[in-house]
Amino acid sequence: MSKTITNLTLPVVTEVVETVLELYPDHPYQQAFASPDLRDKLIAHILSRIPNQYTAIDNDDDDSMPSQLSSSTYGSELKLQIESIVYDGIQHVFTANAEWISHHVPESVTAGTDPSHWFG
């Protein structure tokens, strides 16, 4: 019988990242972190800075799948620590990847603010 090691902290971090990113402006933060590569870098940055919980799950037994932890399972102090690390992580990953972001996230243009070039 083989087992798979599952990180129970990952869904909690993912949930907190989603919640915190909703507080940031769409451009450029939400657009930048919509990229799976940047999102993965952010999550890896956060997971490397907090205690993680793991479990071993039997591959043959579907009933052995533990219920996923939610952010409410964590104590308020640890949840605040995770949120703080998410904020720091967003700034760290955003700054470290600023050049990539400038090439892949289009500039925000508000309609009507740029002069028209149609008439010369």
pLDDT in tens, 3-48: 999 999 999 999 999 999 999 999 999 999 999 999 999 999 999 9
Paired residues of 7 in beta bridges:
54
Residue 16's nearest CA partner among 113, 62, 85, 67 is 85
CB 9 within 8 A of CB 69: yes
pLDDT of 66: 55
Name the more confident of 60 and 102. Answer: 102
* Model pLDDT for residues 38-93, shown as the tens digit of each residue: 999 999 999 999 999 999 988 876 555 555 555 556 778 888 999 999 999 999 99
Prediction pTM value: 0.77
Query: Pairing state of beta strands 3-7 and 54-58?
Result: antiparallel
